Amino acid sequence: MPNPVSSIPNLGPASEIAFARAGITTAEEIHEMGADEAYRRLLAHGTRPHFIGYYVLVMGLQGRPWNDCKGDEKKALRKRFDALCNGFNRSDAKLRADLEQTLSFLGVVERQ
């Protein structure tokens, strides 16, 4: 039986909802795709970029507490985060989420 997203350390019910909007419903899916791809999918489905949310995910996939990210490691993760967010801004993500919701309502795309 698959494990819920919230079985990953540091992730809870709000993370499950956000990942479900992106079509990701299990911890195994996130582990398989890795933090960067999982976060990219969140951005593509309307999640607003937030550095803490990103490194919480990275730390959780490593089985580490969210506040274990410090120093050079945190600086390196910030560079990865900035690269991931390139091309996604709040308005782009919101427009895409709104478009997908409208297309789903109209029956043009499968409802999630």
Q: What percentage of residues in the chain have a pLDDT greater than 90?
A: 67
**How many Cα atoms sit within 13 Å of 7 on the Cβ side?**
11
Computed over every residue of the chain, the mean pLDDT equals 87
Query: What whole-number distance in Å separates Cα of residue 45 and Cα of residue 31?
Result: 19
Q: Which of 53, 75, 61, 60 is nearest to 31 (CA)?
A: 61
Per-residue pLDDT reduced to its tens digit, 66-89 = 999 999 999 999 999 999 988 776
Question: Which superfamily does 5-106 belong to?
Answer: 5' to 3' exonuclease, C-terminal subdomain (1.10.150.20)
User: To which residue do tokens 């949310």 refer?
Assistant: 53
Prediction pTM value? 0.78
**Coarse DSSP helix, strand, coil percentages of the chain, rounded to the nearest 5 percent:** 70, 0, 30
The confidence band for 26, taking pLDDT boundaries of 50, 70 and 90, is very high
Sign for the CA dihedral angle at 18, 24, 26, 29 comes to negative
Question: Is residue 37 predicted with pLDDT exceeding 60?
Answer: yes
Question: Is residue 63 predicted with pLDDT exceeding 70?
Answer: yes
Average pLDDT over residues 92-106: 66
